[in-house]
Amino acid sequence: MSAHLGHAVTAFIDGELDHTRRDEVLAHLTHCDGCRAEVEALRRLKAALRLEPTAVPMDLAARLLSAPAVPLPEARPHRRRRSSEHARLRRTAMGGALVALGLGGALSLAGPPPSGPVAPLDPTNAGFVRDHGATSNEVPFTELDVVSVSSTRSPAPAP
């Protein structure tokens, strides 16, 4: 294989190049003595191989069949290839990076935390019971006597 033309030398000798690439190779061969010598050597080799038939001994098949069988080496247990281990590691790292990117995106889209104080949570739900009673004229949990309902609103209890 030529250092200048690469695999194009053998394709040129075999006639496998298209017209444009063949013209490029011919133009190179007019200026490069080394590539021209390599092309000529390969052409001579190809012609010699075409002309001289290879003589196969008549007893070749019998000699091959009578040869002693070579014992096969013991099969080793199949070991996972390192490339598959690396591929799994790459997939895991990529998955972790995507999760981190997704969380970061979600946090950035959520915006900054509220600047003012957040309304306190009323664990007794007294406000709910009072508002529900005032709007629906029904009082939940009446069997437990949790809250008495009045038609007037009472002020909210102080925290």
Q: How high is the pLDDT of residue 141?
A: 57
Sign of CA dihedral 29, 32, 38, 41: positive
* pLDDT tens sequence across 137-154: 776 655 554 455 555 555
**Residue range 28-79, pLDDT digits in tens:** 888 888 888 888 998 888 888 777 677 777 888 888 888 877 777 776 666 6
More confident residue, 85 or 99: 99
Instruction: Kindly report, residue by residue over 64-75, the tens digit of the pLDDT.
Output: 888 877 777 776
Tokens of 137: 């004229």
pTM reported for the whole predicted model: 0.34
Distances (CA, A) of 143 to 52, 78, 138: 114, 74, 12
pLDDT tens digits, one per residue of 97-122:
999 888 888 878 877 777 777 666 65
Domains by residue range for the chain, with CATH: 1-52 (1.10.10)
